[in-house]
Amino acid sequence: MGYVVLGFTYLSGGLLLGIGLYLVFLGSFPAWWKDWILRPVVRVTPGVARLQGLTAIGLGSSIVAIGLTTLVSESAGGLLVVIAIVVYVIGAALFAYSTWLSRRPAS
């Protein structure tokens, strides 16, 4: 893997980790985010924002784990890839669940 691609994985993964931590700790999206960024989310609640943050953390960590596979042994790299895939699938499920929660009628 080239160093440019490796740097891109660390940059994008780190950015997603930072966004995810921001959403988890604050429980709301930044006010400057436009509506098109929040398109799948209808009603933003603190729970939905935190689930979206966990999704971003999962996706960012899976991207960083894929990038780390070039620096470790083959068996550890294979384990990192499997873990990254599992975390990515869990993150996708959390995203779908949080989107579903935001579209439920208010009770």
- Taking only the tens place, the pLDDT of each residue in 31-83 is 887 777 778 888 888 999 999 999 999 999 999 999 888 888 999 999 999 99
pLDDT for residue 107: 66
How long a stretch of residues is the chain?
107
Q: pTM of the prediction?
A: 0.87
Q: What is the largest CA-CA distance in the chain?
A: 52
Q: Is 33 left (phi over 0), alpha (psi -120 to 50) or beta?
A: beta
* Cβ neighbourhood burial of 4 (10 Å; 0-12, 13-18, 19+): exposed
What are the structural domain ranges in the chain? Answer: 3-13+23-29+36-103
Cβ density class 39-62: b for 16+ within 10 Å, e for less: eebeebeeebbbbbbbbbbbbbbb
